[in-house]
Amino acid sequence: MEFNKFRIRSYEGQSDRAQVEILERKCEVGPSESVFLFTDTMGDPICRIRNSPMYMMLVAELDNELVGVIQGSIKVVTVQGHPPKDLAKVGYVLGLRVSRNHRRKGIGSSLVTTLEEWFISNDVDYAYMATEKENHASTNLFINKFHYTKFRTPSILVNPVNHHSFKMSSNIEISRLKIEQAESLYRRFMGSTEFFPNDIGNILKNKLSLGTWMAYFKDDINIGPNGQIPKSWAMLSVWNSGKLVRALCQFVHNMAKENKDDKVKIIVTEVGGRDELNHHIPHWKLLSCPEDLWCIKALKNEGLSINTFHELTKTSPTRALFVDPREV
């Protein structure tokens, strides 16, 4: 597909990888004007979508130069009220980058349009995206031009990995869960959470998953074979006690510090913007984004889908929001 002399096409790994990595490094992202983060894809530009059930990466080419990229993934998630069984197919828009020298030429709009066409061809119910609340260029593009609606404002908390280990509380036990145990707990306690992925088992079994741990007080029972669980407990992404979550975060920090390849420098956590756990998860405010902005758009004009979309965007956010680790 061609727009004003530039061409939108699918990403081709061998021939496009080097140019995409250069473009990523030139396009900084960050929570403030004084701090910039650069995306290092470690030689794999599609690493953020590769583990999704379906994915697509598009590039914009002008005179044999790649001047823009965008990525998208498709999955089935929980959306309350959506037929059937509160499940909907959603498309996630991410990684939109346009070279500084070629902005305001319609390249970003063309990339979004082409990706949405791919969503529609795969029967996607809703498209959604995430950006920083203060990224006015992005919000203007998606909200004003493409008619996305503000949906949720989770927080991204970033904490550097220090050279010293945290001292763990002596009355808290942290145990690693089997994949089957973790999946059972996720479905049991978070199955009705907004955007809970229906393929949670694939996430837990993925080679990039380092495991799932549960924190609980030592004088309580451990998780049992018949579904018994401690009275107070926390595991990655499932919480009901701030003290236990802090211990779990300290444990993850120590695990990162002891990582053999010595490349882990920060720990990133994304939680609901109004979640009380924001006060218990260690993070640096300078690096963190207190209000990441999620926007959503209905891609079908059917009555039930439109009604569900209005309910989704008009109702107050629930306390819990499931953030897919494949998209962080």
Dump pLDDT digits (tens) for 232-262.
Answer: 998 864 323 345 556 766 777 777 777 666 6
Per-residue pLDDT, averaged over 37-66, amounts to 81
Q: Strands 126-132 and 87-98, how do they pair?
A: parallel
- Tokens 């609606």 sit on residue: 149
**What confidence category does residue 36 fall into, taking pLDDT thresholds of 50, 70 and 90?**
very low
Terminal CA-to-CA distance of the chain, rounded, Å? 29
Give the pair of three-digit tokens for residue 128.
């959604």
Give the pair of three-digit tokens for residue 43.
């030689």
Q: What is the pTM of this model?
A: 0.73
Residue 67 above 90 pLDDT?
yes
Our separate counts of H helices and E strands in the chain read: 7, 15
Q: In percent, how much of the chain has pLDDT > 70?
A: 70
Dump pLDDT digits (tens) for 182-210.
Answer: 999 999 998 998 899 999 999 888 877 87
* Cis peptide bond N-terminal to 225, omega within 30: no
**What confidence category does residue 98 fall into, taking pLDDT thresholds of 50, 70 and 90?**
very high
Dump pLDDT digits (tens) for 157-169.
Answer: 767 767 778 888 8
More confident residue, 116 or 219: 116
Q: In percent, how much of the chain has pLDDT > 90?
A: 34
Q: Are 194 and 320 in contact (CB under 8 A)?
A: yes
